[in-house]
Structure 1
Amino acid sequence: MTLAFVALGLDHRHIYGMTENMLAQGARCLGYWTEGAPQPLDGYVRRNPDLRRFDTLDAALSAGADLALVSCVPADRAALAIKAMQTGHDVMTDKPGCTTMDQLAAIRACVAETGRIWSINFSERFEVPCVTLADALVQEGAIGRVVHTTGLGPHRLNRATRPEWFFQRERYGGVLADIASHQIDQFLHFTGSDDAQVTLAHVANHANPDDPGLQDFGEIALRSAHASGYIRVDWYTPDALPNWGDGRLTLLGTDGYIELRKYVDVAGRDGTDHLVLVNGARCETIDARDAGLPYFARLAHDIAHRTETAMTQAHCFKVMELALQAQAMAEGRRA
């Protein structure tokens, strides 16, 4: 049976990739619902001109879909995901999947009650082919056991296109809960850690004093039972860079290391998805653009067979728990 989905909330452009990648798996989109006219709406309609826009959320939720894609304002994602799960949908949500510990607790309770899947599309892992190749190399033992990760997530501010909620701390959730959830996901995944301790968390607004709700810089240090990691995120991408950010990930193993230059190589190589591998026998840069994006096919499989091949539910919960803990620590409050 063909997987059917609906898109709920078009407040963030990540809904483009979420929809495109599910369509690429042969899934069928029954339509979308969103409040008002958020900035990404025009681009979504251009990409999907034949899709129906539902007049109400209830109409979208009663259309017969198996899966709901959620990309509304971050502070509203938990409530929308819960409503979707309570009406029989599995959920793929944009990051951050929630913005408070109370929201996370409500999601946990809903998953336990309904048996639905709540999956966060960590696009900096799931929509980046070089990460797929890095995962395969790590599984093969190419760099030994991963004992440290360094995750860098710079972003371009693009002030003119940002909605009001982007500058409101309570609406977007804070820079660590938002952007750094990507790097926390990668740390846990590549080090094989089920849990971790946040040993350092810091946020700041260094360059945008007229927007006091914006955190334009953040950093985290993590430590698990057998690995550690460092994360830096910011909104400082310079105009001369040809894309939105020079995102990088370095995996340090006991027998070598891998560096991912995900979106651009400032050393001059064209394109995206540059993987640097250095170990006892190899020292090379690999073009990983064709490594594939298995998350979406795996999620479709999980929906059909009630498995956890795309990402375990425990991992998804833990990423957001650590991100919210880090955010609270950085702001000097209890999570």
Structure 2
Amino acid sequence: MSLRFAALGLDHRHIYGMAGNMIAAGAEFVGWWTDGNPGALDGFDKRFPGVPRAMDKAQLLDDPTIDLILISAIPRDRAALAIAAMEAGKDVMVDKPGCTTLEQLEAIKACVARTGRIWSVDFSERFEVPSVTRAAELVAEGAIGKVVQTVGLGPHRLNRPTRPDWFFERKAYGGILTDIASHQIDQFLYFTGATDAEITLASVGNFANPSDPGLQDFGEIALHAPEGHGYIRVDWYTPDALPNWGDGRLTILGTEGYIELRKYVDVGGRDGTDHLVLVNGTRCENIDASDAGLPYFARLAADIRDRTETAMPQAHAFKVMELGLKAQEMAEARA
């Protein structure tokens, strides 16, 4: 029998990728529930016609045939839903940020320890980007030597008319470092092999949207670990002329070369997505990495079946969110 999953909370469009990729991995989407009628519902119905809406979340949580719960609710509500799902015997894949306070994170850790369930965060800028898959393969092959630094840039388009009220509420989305920068923290830890890091710089600001005091439209973090260094910049400044939502990039510096990913667009003129630049002692080339695959989802399905940690170590998910939350606190204390 295939893995069966349901969704709780459709407040962010990331649910499309979460559900679609689990279906592609062979899982069966059997139901969903959300509070009210968030804007993501229109696109959801088009992508997943025929998947029934439950009368309430208890209908799904009490179904013993459901193995996995996907959560893309308002960020402040994700921790409570995840805990309820794990207490009901389900494993969880949650949209980033997985939680919005350190207190929520501690409650999630306690629930995982108590129930033995999986709490996985879909860091989509790694898990849903084929060029990151190819970069990981090259790093594992030793193509750039030992990784000593990552530089992660996460620009986003504001798309103000489409944003719900909670998007502009600091307590609802958790702050820009907790939210967007969790992607880049994940990639820093993953590519350097670090299991912890010192936050040496953290700042946030609102420079372009003074009428929305709850919005942080700029943030940056610097990280230091024995395994390597990291710099992160995130923002909501993507200009309208760019053909997609953001020119997301990752540079991985090694002792024998470097890799640059232009994940979603190449403003240098190449069509498509997932452009990878590799430079080392024998190679200087552009690689189309769009067919490299997305192994996270099949690995998570296997982890649910086998009770393993091949998709992402549980400690890694906890550490990414811990660092994001602590960086957020540091930045706001200095603001």
Give the TM-score normalised by the residue count of structure 1: 0.99
Is 1:59 equivalent to 2:59 in the alignment? yes
> Which residue is 1:20 aligned to?
20
Deviation at 1:122, TM superposition (A): 0.2
State the Cα distance separating 1:226 from its structure 2 match: 2.4
1:25-40 pair list within 5 angstroms? 25-40=25-40
2:243 corresponds to 1:230 = no
User: Partners of 2:51 and 2:87 in 1: how far apart?
Assistant: 24
Alignment of 1:37-116 (within 5 A): 37-63=37-63, 64-116=65-117
Aligned residue number for residue 146 of structure 2: 145
- 2:214 match: secondary structure: coil
5+ residue gaps in structure 2? none
Deviation at 1:242, TM superposition (A): 0.3
Query: Which secondary structure state, in structure 1, belongs to the residue aligned with residue 220 of structure 2?
Result: strand
After superposition, what is the alpha-carbon deviation per residue over 1:268-314, rounded to whole angstroms, capped at 9, x for unaligned? 00000000000000000000000000000000000000000000000
- Kindly state the Cα deviation for residue 49 of structure 1 after the two structures are TM-superposed: 1.0
Unpaired stretches in structure 1, ≥5 consecutive residues: none
Deviation of the 1:20 alpha carbon: 0.2
After TM superposition, the structure 1 stretch with the greater mean CA deviation from structure 2, 59-68 or 47-56, is: 59-68
Deviation at 1:134, TM superposition (A): 0.1
Distance 2:212 2:219 in 1: 16
- Report the Cα distance in structure 1 between the residues aligned to 2:164 and 2:290, rounded to whole angstroms: 32
- The count of corresponding residues between Structure 1 and Structure 2 is 333
Correspondences of 1:139-288 after superposition (within 5 Å): 139-288=140-289
- 1:60 to partner: Cα distance: 1.6
In the alignment, the residues of structure 1 paired with residue 262 and residue 251 of structure 2 have an alpha-carbon distance, to the nearest angstrom, of: 9
Give per-residue Cα distances to partners, 1:242-273, cap 9 Å, x unaligned: 00000000000000000000000000000000
Measure, in 2, the Cα distance between the counterparts of 1:106 and 1:200.
27
> Match of 1:3?
3
Q: Which runs of 4+ in 1 moved over 2 A?
A: none
Residue 66 of structure 1 aligns with an amino acid whose one-letter code is D
How far apart are the structure 2 equivalents of 1:300 and 1:200? 37
- Which residue does 2:315 correspond to in 1? 314
CA distance in 2, matches of 1:45, 1:150: 37
Structure 2: distance between partners of 1:10 and 1:164: 15
Distance 1:246 1:266 in 2: 8
Give, in whole Å, the separation in 2 of the partners of 1:262 and 1:46. 26
Q: Distance in 2 between matches of 1:224 and 1:310?
A: 23
Aligned residue for 2:333, secondary structure, equals coil
The letter of the residue matching 2:87 is Q
Paired letter, 1:246: D
3-state DSSP of counterpart to 1:223: strand
Deviation at 1:61, TM superposition (A): 1.1
Shift of 1:168: 0.1
- How many angstroms apart in 1 are the aligned matches of 2:281 and 2:98? 40
- What residue identity is the alignment partner of 2:27? A
Helix, strand or coil at the partner of 1:291? coil
CA distance in 2, matches of 1:209, 1:113: 44
AA paired with 1:271?
G
Alpha-carbon distance, 1:62 to partner: 1.9
Cα distance in 2 for partners of 1:41, 1:82 equals 24
| Distance across 2 between alignment mates of 1:197 and 1:296 | 30
Aligned-partner Cα distance in 1 for 2:253–2:142: 12
Shift of 1:104: 0.2
TM-score by length of 2: 0.99
Q: Which residue of 2 aligns with 1:300?
A: 301
